[in-house]
Structure 1
Amino acid sequence: MLSTSGCAGSRMPLAAVSDDGLSLSSVVLYRNGVGYFERSGKVDGDMLRLRVRKDQVNDLLKSLTVVDEDGKAVSVSMPLDPQTWASAAMATLAPGRGSLAQVLDSLRGTDITVKAGARVIRGRIVMIERSVNEPDPELAAPSRGGAPVQLEDTRDWKLTLLARGQMQVVRLSKVKAITLHDGDLAMQLHRSLDASAGEGMFEQVDLEIRLADARSHRLTVSYVVGAPMWKPTYRIVLPEEGKGQGLLQGWAVVDNTSGEDWRDIQLAVTSGAPIAFRYDLHTPREVYRTDMTQSAADKRASVALGETSWGEEERIYEPEPELEPMEEVADEAYYGFEDDVADGDYARAPEAAPAPTSKSKRKKDSNRSSGMMGGGGAPVRPGSIASGAEYGERQQVDVDTLRRSTQASARSQRISGLTRVDLDTPVTVPDGSSTMVALINESVEAEQTFLYRPGGAGYGYEANPYRVVRFQNATDYVLEPGPIAIYSGGSFVGEGLSEAVGAGTSVTIPFAVAPEIMVTSSKQYAGQEMTMTRIVRGVLEVESFYQTTTTWDVRGPLQDKAWTVLVRQPQSGGNYQLAERPEGTEDLEGAWLIPITVKAKANSASIKVVEQTPSKITLAIWDQQALPLLEKFLTMPNISAEARKALQPVVELRREIGRIDTEVDGLRRQQAELERRADQTRRNLEAIKKDPKAGTLRAKLNKRLEEFSSDADEKGRKIVELENKRLSKKIELEDMLESIDLRAPSVGEGKDDAKGQK
């Protein structure tokens, strides 16, 4: 446990709660700015008196619990704060709040003396109101053209005083000085200013807890008050082969700013996100009530019959079973510094710490050393890797060495969604100091690899990936966000920062840049032909895809072993999915983690990642695109025999109707051409009707007109026959479609998995 002492200025803050009969026994620190404190001890008499820091009264009133082994607490009483209820003016003077107009308005009726220019007025404050001062024309400055410049309106306040039976009005902007003639009010104002300056917040309030009898009581008092959040820090030691068993170590840094020493307490820290807030329970609040005096005098009660009710059956509530603690992280305890260590040489900067010069000195220092690098040996200076460096000899810093150097003894348990870690050994944390306690010292599955994110590894490294460590949280609790130091090959190689890591989940932590590796990409956009996904009573559900193809290229130095770069590819859109999932792909929030492996003795590799988003439409079976979609559906290899048998007659009948439609369409075009030519012939005959020399031509044109009309009539009769045939086929097809409901089999389904019924 590392301990550093700090100074809070010339004034030492007082304890949050203090009493000679109760000693602090347990502290639980949370990540939301509060701490749970528990005290116990013996109290004689029928009154327990506590002195509470004023800034923590409200938190304490929300959570105070008093347990008497032989009795019970009767009541809790405390004095009201005169600065918050005796004068409303004091409430306006919280730091960052209030104005002179607000203060004067809250002091109505107070006797003051105001100096405004040459006027000195003494009187009682009647009111203060906002006003708009119109510009004075006499003060307007002339412009260059000779016309006066119009001044803007100015907003001000008017202070009304009652002086010798007269009301006098003074502009607040003209006031130069104000004298308070109420000495008590002036004293309260001084106290409020002390609080704003940070002095009054440590003023203490007396609480009196009345007990059942005037005798000896053994009490346990618990409460929740504001406390600095504990801070996690971690270390990962990578396996020698780059993948395998690594070492995960974790510490909690706790700060004691409570105003009292924590001596031999049971310390616990929690991970999770409980809700905590401030709520003023100490200040009286009045609620406006409607005056119903007159209406009550006019009311008359009416006679009503009584009613009989039945009592509710007795309900028995069984207590919830207590949660059993989880497995211990380690067997040995992790002890902290005593007070002399917190205030000694180890609180100074590294360069100020003297090196040991004798065996006796080394022995003395070895008994006082502790922290991240473990117990035995010379004092560990911040930033040093091996404790043996003080003696000119360097010990190997590997997984086993670091595991032995750290002693962690803690138990974890789940409580209402939170993970609580209790240290097995009592901890001493002097007031005004920070202490680091070991929580984790476990082997984990870890590997070192590379991660590329769009944009690269930062400015100047846009095409380079990160060097990352991946490990699985093998503990029983959440790893809170914090810095992670990475060790490999016996030395520090980088550090990273992680979000919260749940129990049993994996995390990827970038800790360095890999400039020797380059990752590039290119994109292509395309559409995909339509595919029928379902046919229901002659309605086809059709799906088409818009595709985005991203080609990733990785280049790096030749290696004797294969190596992998994980590419974090964001989704092109919210409904995009992978058309084909590359092997080893992991799902992230709004992205995929896609591995690209460069083979041994190679310096490059590439992969194409196809994303697609579906576009769904519906078509009637009579649509021109319906028949090709039906025919494609029948060619699917994994369609069931039952579905094929049900759909085959539909496709054949629709194909025959399609042929009829094609033939009818051709006949209609021929008929239209014949009718056009016949109409042209008629116009020609009309033109030569009166020409006596055109007899031969008229005969020829009449014969041609007859042929055109005859052929057009023949085409018309053929069209009618085909339409009658088509109508018959259409009715037959519609009857067949009434019982058809087929779905396209999913990718990977067998033939027997396709759904269909006839």
Structure 2
Amino acid sequence: MFRAKWLLWGVPVAGAVGLGVGVDQWLSAAGEAKQDLKPATTLPITRVVLFNSGVGYFSRSGEVEGEARVDLTFPESDVNDLLKSMVLEDFGNGRISAVSYDSREPIARTLSSFAINLNNNPTFAGIIGQLRGERIEVAVSATAANQPGKLNGTIVGVEKQKVPAGAQTIDAEVLNMWCAEGMRAIKMADIQSLRFSNPVIESEFRRALEVLALSHDSQKKAVQLHFAGEGKRKVQVGYVIDAPIWKTSYRLLMNEKEKPYLQGWAMVENPTDEDWSTVKMALVSGRPISFKMDLYNPLYINRPTVEPELFASLRPVTYSGGFKSNHNGPVDGPPGESAKFDEAKPGGMGGKGFGARWGAMPKGAAAPVPLSLAEADHKNDGRYAKDTAADLARRLNTGTVGNAATAGALGDFFQYTIDHPVTLVRQKSALLPIVGKEIEGTRVSIYNAGVQAKHPLLGLRLKNTSGAHLNQGPITVFEGSTYAGDTRVLDVQPNEERLLSYAIDLGTEVDPKAGAGKQKITSVKAVKGIVTTTTKVTEETTYKAINRSQTDRALLIEHPNRTSQQFKLVDTDKPAEDTPEVLRFQIQVKAGETKSHTIKEERDDVSTIALTNGAEDQIRYFVALNEISASLKQKLNEALKIKGTWDHTARELNQVNADLQRFTTDQDRIRKNLRETPKESEVYATYLKKLSDQEKEIDALTAKQKGLVADEFQARKKYEDYLANISD
């Protein structure tokens, strides 16, 4: 049976030839390569944990015996996640030997690296021709040229010969072998089977065929897990890869005489190419931080070149940071020293820690970094455990990782453990029941003018008494056996209350009316010339509700929450509930009743004005206010008096400047007339006298201007200084 498993080609018709792999003989002859030719062990998926963050934890487990190999295939897009998260465990007296995976080399290059190149679909003769000089064993059929039996010899080569075929001759391929009795020529058509005596060639041929088999899907990569040990024992592999998020949908059944009944379903998908058969499934309502990192492609970094020093024998030393760790000294010590690990402590390289599952590590080897998520599937008796998500997170803190993550640090998780094993074939989806309980709920009508201006919405004030975290999703509401509407709920913690609305309440109408509003100045204060005015702004809104239905209504009025705008409620009952967006006021409206509810809000508007030399109008405005204090009013009146003195001086200065400007213009006119008038005329003498008199007046005005400029500056400065120091 084992030999048949590795048979490459059979003999379906007469004349056909085949190549058989002599596994049994090879196993008896080969020692070191024995592990590679043992059949791969199958590890089915036994546990699936799906998260809301687009990843899933998959666990495979089974029994192996002795030296074992497990073959897995993954889409290339999952390899990075696999390398980042895969955990291997051997729960017996075994160890993890190695994990190998396909590189990104082209298939042709990979095939050409084997002793037998299977590129370009080689023929039987083409394969034999690559192995000239190798010993083989062939089984031949009975013909006129030879007796049936087995021949042992060495491949010399393959040639074509002319052989008769009826009335003509045809070219036939002939295998030339060097046997004990000498050279033998065997027609390829007479060969029934052929096996290689060299176990290395057998291994190379098998591995090349495996590469060909896996290359049928170019997007899949092979991963091989090797376990070393003795006897039968349980092994397990767990990993985190991309997975569709699981979703929820609910049905809410309401009845007048009974509590609302909530039924919840989880929608899970199996997007893999493998059937899930009786797997233990858990659905975690939480969003752990998850990222991708390129670990698949080879990465190279630039390394510094260190010039050797005379008599120096130490390598460059780097030191760890100031955080507490297992290393108290340099990361790299002198040559010849390797990193030491405490083998007596749990999580070290020996003893009862995680390292015991990896087996003994050679001196100087790097310590594995275990991620113990897979331990959630194992107890001392080898059975699976229904651990909570918190337990899974807690187990990540074991081994050499330390407290890299703690339960609750990434948010509060809640896990739904499916009570019965789940079977889901590949590329299929399923609905799994997760909630089915009565919950507490009160019927309400919810009015929000921004949602529906005229009518409130029929709703329910739901309290999550199911004992489970309710994941966000749609809810279909039924009144008895009648469809009542749809709604949607966000994540709801246990015992948390949440409003749901599912239909328009046509029997109730609400009319909101905004009042005129009031503004009143409440205080005026001055500090160092800055006057602060506080104005109280009052606004009110009246909601008039009429209930035309035949049943009483508990009406919830959602009023905008304007706390961020500094509004606060006054002369109004406290809301039944407040959220960052709205304040909810509840009133009872009986059947056929009309009721009004007024919401009054106020806030203080504060404005500031700096008193400057141009703020006379503001000063007069403040003086006229009744809310201003007597002392501040007196100070502001004094400022007006000082301002009046400054204004008087400024007016005099402006008058002098105007007179000087008038005299300057008149003198220009007189000088122009003098140039045009004969000196002997009487008018000329008149002009000269007038010009002389004006010069005397200009001198007097200039002196007065100088004094007024100084007086105006002092008056302005006095006024500005006074304003800048007004405080009350």
TM-score by length of 2: 0.49
TM-score by length of 1: 0.47
Q: Which has the larger radius of gyration?
A: 2
